Structure 1
Amino acid sequence: MTIKSLSQGEELQLVREALRSLRDSFSGHDPQHHTLDTLEQGVSSLMDRLHTLDAQRRQDRGEEFKSPGRRANSTDRDSWPPSSKMAHSHSSPGLDTAVSTKVLYFTDRSLTPFLINIPKRLGEVTLRDFKAAVDRQGSFRYHFKALDPEFGTVKEEVFQDGAVVPGWEGKIVAWVEEDHGERR
Structure 2
Amino acid sequence: MSTTPQPRTRTVVVVMGVAGTGKTTIGPLVAEALGLPYAEGDDFHPAANVAKMSAGIPLDDSDREPWLDAIGVWAHDRAGLGGVVSSSALKRSYRDRLRAAAPGVVFLHLTGDRELIEQRMGARKGHFMPTALLDSQFATLQPLQEDEAGVAVDVSGTPEEISARAAAALRGLAG
Q: Which has the larger radius of gyration?
A: 1
- Of structures 1 and 2, the one scoring higher in RCO (CA 8 A, sep 6+) is 2
Query: Shorter-chain-normalised TM-score: which range?
Result: under 0.3
Larger strand share, 1 or 2: 1
Q: State TM-score, norm by structure 1.
A: 0.25
